[in-house]
């Protein structure tokens, strides 16, 4: 990589002077703006002045850095980790930021970035201090994937929600906006300025292994309505950047793009009717950022390139046909789908050529940086093209407010995160999503007060959480987790245990035609225990369990979803959710067993 340390002091000084040049009134107006049509008068011009001045003061190498969103292993900015050294040649996040000067940084619980909200705030502050000491001295946009439900990077004591498909079952734009607002406010308090949410995919394939309950629905109109509501909650109410994903639409695939390259066979007309509307709704709502998908869509580009690398899709469809002028970010470039055809350096160059602005998680950061620089040296890329993307990124930063307020007050984080009012709102919203799909012979509700209850099936932590809820309602509860692929021995053990309990609750997750969860449920159903069946992820599980008397869909195993499940089981609340998808027969006949909108007890 080309590095020119001599530029750093001068560039940082220029950035400080530029920020200071804003009057207090102007800076205040800038901090209020989210780039929406309702921004204070004059804010747009202030942003333009900032961008122009910043670009003039930056070196080409500093501009290249702004294109990248990196990550580091470890809970603190100075945490040394051999995995960082292997990837970057630098041991800690602070050293990575100093060397690579990225425009953004993303946090993951699985990469040891998250232990508690105050720690996240300290890490965010440390990252910003490192950024302001490096290169142009421009604060980074710190991001994460707090979709809620299945994809939740920061857990309790942060406020948790059951995720998009549950909100789809609730049918409420107001609830969706409120959930996004609470999530966004808590992220911002921890120093996170961009959420890679909402998922705007229309999940029309029940076998989709990567989207599923991350989608609001299989209905484009409902997905559009709730996507727009979430964007407004994140941006207008919470003041963080929303990122609608995964363009041009990842809802009809049976391949996980983390491990393979999906092909979407929708015709152009089908794409316009099914996949495009939620992104159009997000754009109309003022979304700041849109994330591309690593999928092949032959009707939009027959080259075989994934959408992330397709100029026909990124520029032709998203920029020109849909009119989006905000920031376009790739999905993670470490994912297998985007790495199959080209090398890790070439992928970065082709993404920029396609019209992308931000390069998320390059698999080989040195190679990606070097490839961009080599493309500039050869004339394949121009500085003017880099300036286009950097201008969008800088404007998004200015509008969001991170330029003026890059750090947060750690001692005030818990004044925002997990407030009682937010937790109550999450409970009420979740209670409106739980869906009773089947209830033969009025099997539900069932009192558990004074009874023995077995909780079995999916999830050790999930089972314990539900057990605690049922215990609070007077039950004596035993848990026996069997996972998603129970062995014959575990099935026998669970059936024997069920025979000794008054009530058995079995939690399913991803039941397929060959899943041994089917045998587990059948064995439990053959006992005299009162059986309750609950799908804690995909509502589609019921199509493989035709013989059960009842089935409840929670769409999530998040804590509030399990609390609502306990309430529905015991009759404390009426189930209020309606299926946001069609559930087809499991035999491939195409028969609809339970249609979109179905829900008992409503």
| Per-residue three-class SS string for 316-335 | HHHHHHCCCCCEEECCCCCC
Among 116, 78, 81, which residue's Cα sits nearest to residue 98?
Answer: 78
- CB neighbourhood size of 282 (10 A): 29
Q: Report whether 202 contacts 247 (CB < 8 A).
A: no
Contact 584, 591 (CB under 8 A): yes
Close Cβ partners of 229 (under 8 Å, ≥ 6 residues apart): 173, 174, 176, 177, 180
* Cα(445)–Cα(355) distance, integer angstroms: 54
134 backbone φψ class: left, alpha, beta (φ>0; ψ -120 to 50): beta
Cα distance between residue 39 and residue 434, in whole Å: 38
Q: How far apart are CA 103 and CA 101, in angstroms?
A: 7
| Angle, CA 151 vertex, CA 458 and CA 416 arms, to 5° | 115
Q: Is residue 331 annotated as part of the catalytic site, yes or no?
A: yes
3-state SS of 209-258 is: CCCHHHCCCCCHHHHHHHHHHHHHHHHHHHCCEEEEEEECCCCCCCCCCC
Helices (H) and strands (E) in the chain, counts: 21, 16
Angle between helices 344-354 and 383-400 (to 10 degrees): 80
Nearest alpha-carbon partner for 396 in 72, 142, 152: 142
d(CA 580, CA 214): 12
User: According to DSSP H, which parts of 401-438 are helical?
Assistant: 420-431
Alpha carbon 444 to its chain centroid, in Å, reads: 34
In order, the DSSP letters of 71-118 are --SSSSTT---HHHHHHHS-SSHHHHHHHH--SEEE--TTTT--SSHH
Q: Of these residues, 81, 112, 258, 370, which one is catalytic?
A: 258
Q: Which of 217, 276, 270 is nearest to 249 (CA)?
A: 276
Q: Clarify whether 377 is annotated catalytic.
A: no
Antiparallel, parallel or unpaired: β 241-247 and 194-195: parallel
Interhelix angle 383-400/43-57, nearest 10 degrees: 130
Residues 340, 363: Cα–Cα separation, whole Å: 12
Catalytic residue among 275, 288, 331, 399: 331
Decide if 125 contacts 191 (C-beta within 8 A): yes
Contact 161, 430 (CB under 8 A): yes
Q: Tell me if 144 sits within 8 A of 24, measured CB to CB.
A: no
What's the rounded Cα separation, in Å, for the pair 299 and 182? 39
Listed in sequence order, the DSSP H helices in 255-316 are 268-270, 276-284, 311
Distance CA 343, CA 187 (A): 34
Of 413, 406, 318, 315, whose CA–CA distance to 104 is shortest? 406
**Sequence-distant (≥ 6) Cβ neighbours of residue 568 within 8 angstroms:** 434, 436, 444, 445, 552, 574, 575
Catalytic positions = 258, 331
């Amino acid at each position: 990589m080309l590095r020119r340390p001599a530029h750093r002091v001068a560039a940082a000084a220029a950035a400080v002077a530029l920020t200071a040049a804003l009057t207090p009134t102007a800076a205040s107006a800038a901090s209020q703006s989210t780039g929406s049509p309702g921004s204070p008068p004059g804010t747009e011009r202030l942003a333009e002045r900032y961008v122009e001045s910043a670009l003039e003061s930056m070196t080409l190498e500093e501009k290249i850095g702004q294109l990248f969103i990196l990550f580091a292993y470890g809970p603190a900015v100075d945490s040394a980790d051999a995995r960082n050294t292997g990837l970057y040649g630098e041991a800690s996040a602070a050293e990575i930021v100093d060397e690579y000067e990225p425009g953004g940084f993303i946090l993951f619980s699985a990469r040891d970035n998250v232990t508690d909200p105050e720690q996240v705030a300290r890490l965010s502050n440390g990252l910003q201090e490192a950024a302001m000491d490096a290169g142009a001295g421009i604060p980074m946009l710190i991001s994460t994937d707090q979709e809620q439900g299945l994809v939740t990077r920061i857990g309790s004591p942060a406020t948790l929600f059951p995720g998009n498909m549950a909100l789809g079952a609730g049918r409420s734009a107001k609830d969706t906006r409120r959930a996004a607002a609470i999530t966004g406010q808590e992220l911002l308090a921890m120093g996170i300025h961009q959420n890679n949410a909402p998922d705007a995919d229309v999940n029309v394939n029940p076998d989709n292994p990567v989207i599923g309950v991350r989608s609001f629905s299989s209905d484009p109109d409902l997905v559009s309505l709730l996507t727009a509501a979430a964007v407004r909650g994140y941006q207008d109410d919470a003041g963080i950047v929303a990122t609608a994903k995964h363009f041009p639409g990842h809802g009809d695939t049976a391949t996980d793009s983390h491990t393979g390259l999906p092909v979407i066979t929708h015709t152009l007309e089908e794409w316009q009717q099914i996949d495009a509307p939620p992104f159009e709704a997000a754009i109309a709502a003022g979304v700041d950022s849109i994330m591309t998908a690593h999928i092949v869509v032959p009707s939009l580009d027959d080259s075989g390139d994934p959408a992330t690398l397709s100029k026909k899709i990124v520029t032709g469809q998203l920029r020109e046909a849909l009119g989006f002028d905000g920031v376009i970010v790739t999905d993670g470039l470490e994912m297998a789908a985007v790495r199959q055809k080209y090398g890790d350096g070439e992928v970065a160059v082709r993404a920029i050529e396609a019209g992308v602005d931000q390069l998320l998680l390059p698999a080989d950061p040195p190679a990606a940086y070097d490839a961009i620089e080599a493309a500039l040296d050869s004339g394949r890329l121009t500085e003017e093209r880099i300036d286009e993307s950097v201008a969008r990124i800088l404007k998004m930063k200015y509008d969001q407010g991170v330029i003026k307020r890059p750090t947060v007050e750690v001692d005030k984080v818990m004044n925002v995160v997990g407030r009682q009012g937010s937790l109550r709102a999450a409970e009420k919203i979740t209670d409106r999503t739980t869906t009773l799909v089947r209830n033969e012979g009025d099997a539900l509700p069932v009192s558990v007060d004074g009874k023995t209850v077995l909780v079995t099936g999916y999830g050790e932590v999930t089972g314990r959480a539900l057990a605690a809820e049922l215990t609070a309602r007077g039950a004596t509860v035993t848990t026996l987790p069997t996972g998603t692929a129970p062995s014959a021995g575990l099935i026998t053990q669970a059936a024997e245990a069920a025979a000794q309990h008054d009530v058995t609750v079995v939690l399913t997750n991803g039941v397929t035609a060959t899943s041994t969860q089917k045998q587990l449920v059948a064995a439990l159903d053959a006992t005299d225990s009162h059986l309750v069946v609950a799908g804690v992820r995909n509502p589609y599980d019921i199509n493989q369990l035709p013989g059960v008397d009842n089935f409840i869909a929670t769409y999530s195993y998040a804590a509030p979803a399990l609390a609502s499940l306990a309430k529905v089981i015991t009759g404390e609340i009426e189930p209020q959710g309606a299926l946001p998808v069609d559930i087809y027969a499991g035999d491939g006949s195409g028969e609809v067993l339970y249609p979109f909108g179905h829900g008992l007890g409503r």
